[in-house]
A and B are shown apart, each in its own frame.
Chain A
Amino acid sequence: MESLDLTVVWAAIIGFSVMAYVVMDGFDLGIGILFPTFKVGEERDQAMNAIAPVWDGNETWLVMGGGGLLAAFPLAYAILLPATYPLMIAMLLGLVFRGVAFEFRWRDPRHRAVWDVSFAAGSVVAALAQGITLGAILQGVRVENDAYAGGWLDWLSPFSLLTGVAVAIGYALLGACWLVWKTEGAGQRHARRLALPLGIATLAALAAVSAATPFLDYDYWRRWFEMPGVILTAQVPLLVVLAAATFFWSLRRGRERLPFLMALGLFLLGFVGLGISMYPYVVPQAVTIWDAAAPYESQIFMLVGALVIIPLILAYTAWSYWVFRGKVGTHGYH
């Protein structure tokens, strides 16, 4: 059994959870970011209904990522969370505001404006915090004696702020494309108008982050540009160009589904790029997945549960999205 490296399996499960989270909560955070640009009334209700059935299912992947990291890679959890402390707190508080807004906004029409603001602000804060966290991890954290050794504002740098803005813009693009798919009428036209500049901005942000990453201190340069790896890594930017071209083409042609799928494709490619930059480190240049791994007994105990339950969750998720296919209305989902 030892020949199957459970550490790699768990790295894959957690990577998958994080990606599932980014892909799924990305578009509903994005709709929160764009929320203030929608007209009070029908447009906002429609936007809210487009994500209401799925948002908290999406968000549970975040708990899975955090819980899984503690269980499978306790050392990484113990280094990364203190290193990004204020970001984590801000993200959690943002998600609290946003989460209750879904419920309270319909229960209390007199204060709907207040909950709309908390929905939008919570979404912006959560998205920025996640993006800045990504940059903070990529640029590296100070580790001494298996513990975080930096200050509580070490994460703050031009690079991390860049990744923060990039992720927020990317989420907004996903949100706009989701609305193009799921709504119709004035709301859809509005989303379509937003999608074009957001697409351009996302590509610019992706380019800026990609250009900056190899110039960080570490060996990202070597990973990306040295032979023979470059033959493989060069496919990533090529695919990005392809996906971007398809995105703009499909948006011009008035397609409804393809823009969202292409925007998702951009995120997936970004994720693959991250994998190339980081693997097998979980804290870049300091801690590999094997350094951080929990012992075999812990990994195998958890794996049994995960292998049974994660497929069930995925099946339910797929069913739920299938059930809510088609356009949404304005009076709750029917």
Chain B
Amino acid sequence: MLEQLDAVMLARIQFAFTISFHFIFPAFSIGLASYLMVLEGLWLKTGEEVYHRLFRYWLKIFAVTFGMGVVSGIVMSYQIGTNWSVFSQKAGPVIGPLMAYEVLTAFFLEAGFLGVMLFGMNKVGKGLHFFATVMVALGTLISATWIISVNSWMQTPVGFAVNDKGQFVPAGSWWPIVFNPSFPYRLVHTVIAAYLTTAFVVGAVGAWHLLKDRADPGARKMFSMAMWMAALVAPVQIAAGDAHGLNTLEHQPVKVLAMEGDYAPSPDGAPLILFGLPDDAAAEVRYEVSIPKLGSLILKHDPDAPLPGLTDYPREDWPPVAVVFWSFRIMVAIGFAMLGLGLWSLLARYRRRLYDWPLLHRAAIAMGPSGFVAVIAGWVTTEVGRQPWTVYGLLRTAESHSPIAAPAIAASLTAFVIVYFAVFGAGTWYILKLMGRPPEPGESLPPQVPQRAAGITPAAGVGAPAGKE
């Protein structure tokens, strides 16, 4: 194991660590921004105080989450250059402009609307404030779109030429690059994942307060909304994941075979391997528990359709199968557990016990962080699964990294681990403290003291002439 910890492996671990940590925050803030939009919209439409209360409650949590997303995001824009300089140089002309657009739109969002949303509640009209909230929600989605486009192009590169310096350059139009073959599937799957992640956090917070006081109107409302999301969106996500899988089979068959654990080709239809221990050296799954033909039924929608095996491909093009195999199973298991909780909530609604079934509430609390686990497991599946390439089929990971010696990368990795756990651990603690309090009538706004996750904030500006609060 130790001799494998060379510079490339350390650089990969460092990138995996910093981006996983980073993505936890946007996974939550993308969903929360849309949830806030829905809450404010419902408040404006119905005039019910409880929506206003919940809006203010979650707004405070959003402020802290967004701040940590920004800080950990700055690191990402430099990680690519520090650890993957060869990749940067070769792919920069294609991915650079897409990432620059992400920065520019994020700028615009921050500078324009986040401040109004966070601090402008009493300073601008209701309509204008709602407009700001909508723009923030839209902005998080636009940001996600650019970044997913970059990632998808690396997975399914099209629309490029290679110039005399060995760089990938746009061959003509940018449309095929931005809307590359895996982009729509990945975007839908990722955004729904963010929505589900948020729904389960909201549901857990609601359930927590229901256990203490089942009459709490705020807790009832948020628990009910979250459980609707679980019941309705979890099946959509499973369908989206299936479509994404078919797309991956078309463009990155090796990744899918690793996810399935299919070492040997299956000319008469592949089984679905439920569990087992993948063994790359022996090219087999040991202690395999499988259902015949189901693999082909899922992947080809035909039980007898032949599927290739990993052994049909050169071994140097295999990803580490065990990691992909297991992370995929974790993700799928959580997906079905989410569906299960959603169905349970429908049963509870039918029996009129939604707010009066402590076991359901405890299960919802236990499932609270499940979205984060599923999101990270999903990214591990797709990112480890596309190894050994950074630009799929064209540029190997081993040929992408910076000319940096292993000790330097090991030292910086250690520093990142210590700092991230300390800093974001503290942030998570503050968020949990906010969640531990029930939403109250006349819920306060984010503190007007300098807590400034939010770009240059005209909002506070709008407040300036209004005097002290």
Contacts and interface: CB of A to CB of B under 8 A. Distances in A.
A115 to B, nearest CB: 9
Interface residues of B, number: 82
Contact of A53 (B403, B419, B450): B450
A115 B459 CA distance: 26
B104 A146 contact: no
B169 interface: yes
A106 B85 contact: no
Interface of B: 64, 67-68, 70-75, 77-78, 80-82, 85-86, 88-97, 99-108, 110-112, 163, 165, 167, 169-170, 172, 174, 402-405, 407-408, 411-412, 415-416, 419-420, 423, 426-427, 430, 447-458, 460-464, 467-469
A74 interface: yes
A108 interface: yes
A106 B403 contact: no
B71 A77 contact: no
A149 interface: yes
Contact of B93 (A66, A81, A104, A295): A295
Contacts of A92: 74-75, 78
Contacts of A235: none
Nearest to B415: A93
A333 B464 contact: yes
Contact of A298 (B170, B407, B419): B170
A152 interface: yes
Interface string A19-61: 0000000000000000000000000000011001111110110
> Helix, strand, loop or mixed for chain B's interface?
helix
Contacts of A228: none
Nearest to A96: B71
B405 A320 contact: no
A54 B460 CA distance: 11
A52 B452 CA distance: 7
A305 B405 contact: no
A89 B412 contact: yes
B89 A146 contact: yes
A151 interface: yes
A274 B230 CA distance: 57
A224 interface: no
Interface stretch (A166-174, A265-273, A311-319): A311-319
A147 interface: yes
A1 interface: no
A52 B455 CA distance: 10
Contacts of A334: 448, 463-464, 467-469
Given A103-B452, A104-B430, A332-B450, A324 B70 contact: no
A198 interface: no
A135 to B, nearest CB: 18
Contacts of A324: 460-461, 464
Contacts of A319: 458, 461
Contacts of A95: 71, 74
Given A92-B78, A319-B461, A148 B447 contact: no
Given A89-B412, A332-B449, A77 B403 contact: no
10 contacts: A53-B456, A56-B454, A64-B104, A67-B99, A100-B427, A106-B449, A106-B450, A297-B93, A324-B461, A331-B449
